[in-house]
Amino acid sequence: MAATTAHERPGTTAAGRLGALARAELTLLVRNRTSLFVTLLMPLLMVGSIGTSVDRIGAEKSGLTLLEAVMTGGVGMVLVIVVYLNLVPAYVARREELVLKRLRTGEATDPEILAGTALPSVALTLAQCLIMVGAAVAFLDVRAPRRPELLVAGVLVGIVLLAALAAVTAGLTRTVESAQLTTMPLFLVSAFGSGLFVPLEVFPERVQDVCALLPVTGVVQLVRAGWLGGGDPGELVRAAVTALAWTAVSVFAVRRWFRWEPRH
């Protein structure tokens, strides 16, 4: 067998490329104090706001205890903040700095570039969800997840959905600064219409039917059913179908319209 010449190099693996992209993105995240605040501290502040909101309307109206409403809403809030709110400016910044354009000239595929950028946020999301569930069960006398498979499925689908929605929103966002505006519609709609701040059960039935079709609602319903148990099988199927449908539409939109070049 002929010896390998000095100019021949073995190709990198997908795992190696993802790891390198994730390490670079984590370094940038740690250096950016604003992003670090959004990722680590803002979810805790929002959980406190959820408690105040639920306490005012009365948790008993939703059939949940105050802690159950706060903790299940808190998991959804972690998903929205750490994945969506953090990734939109990250994608925009890398695009405007020509990082994405340069990465496309290498071996990494488009999905690998987007996934590698998202990996630190995904890891932090999983860690915060685990800590939240563990702390609630160990110290706050909240019951352990009744159907952990549903809870895990809800979190994983939520991560993919919100990462895809972040990429879609980034395509519509001109600058990092304007990301604060372009992310607000989904954040507010999810916070008040998907059961994060206010359980849907307190709304009139027609409003509940409309809110059930929102992107994050299905994820929140799966998380709640997984943690607290119960839930009508038909409603759980509808929640799963809604979440997966939004995920498929979002992934299609990213493949079709994501912008890799700076917006001028």
Torsion of CA 29, 196, 159, 123, to 10 degrees: 40
CA atoms within 13 A on the CB side of 8: 4
CB 40 within 8 A of CB 46: no
CA atoms within 13 A on the CB side of 198: 15
Whether residue 7 has pLDDT greater than 80: no
Distance, CA of 206 to CA of 201 (rounded, Å): 11
Q: Rounded to 5 degrees, what angle do the CA atoms 34, 38, 43 make?
A: 160
Question: Percentage of residues in the chain with pLDDT exceeding 70?
Answer: 88
Give the number of other Cβ atoms within 10 Å of residue 40's Cβ. 14
The residue written with tokens 């929002």 in the block is 46
Q: What is the pLDDT of residue 257?
A: 92
If you average pLDDT over residues 124-132, what whole number do you get? Answer: 91
Tell whether 8 is covered by a domain: no
Per residue in 66-110, pLDDT (tens digit) is 777 788 888 999 999 999 999 999 999 999 999 999 999 999 999
Number of structural domains in the chain: 1
Whether residue 238 has pLDDT greater than 90: yes
Tell whether 173 is covered by a domain: yes
Q: What is the pLDDT of residue 26?
A: 87
If you average pLDDT over residues 124-147, what whole number do you get? Answer: 87
Q: What is the pLDDT of residue 137?
A: 86
User: Which tokens in the block code for residue 77?
Assistant: 């809030």
Tell whether 171 is covered by a domain: yes
> Terminal CA-to-CA distance of the chain, rounded, Å?
53
Whether residue 9 has pLDDT greater than 70: no
Tell whether 1 is covered by a domain: no
The pTM score is 0.89
Distance, CA of 45 to CA of 52 (rounded, Å): 11
CB 115 within 8 A of CB 69: no
Distance, CA of 24 to CA of 160 (rounded, Å): 21
Tell whether 59 is covered by a domain: yes
Tell whether 4 is covered by a domain: no
Tell whether 248 is covered by a domain: yes
Distance, CA of 189 to CA of 191 (rounded, Å): 6
The residue written with tokens 């993105």 in the block is 25
Domain encompassing residue 21: 15-257
Question: Could you tell me which residues come within 8 angstroms of residue 14 by beta carbon, excluding any fewer than 6 positions away?
Answer: 109, 112
Tell whether 5 is covered by a domain: no
Per residue in 187-207, pLDDT (tens digit) is 999 998 998 888 888 888 999
Distance, CA of 135 to CA of 148 (rounded, Å): 16
Could you tell me the CA-to-CA distances from 240 to 56, 169, 192, 217, 237 in Å, in that order? Answer: 30, 23, 20, 10, 5
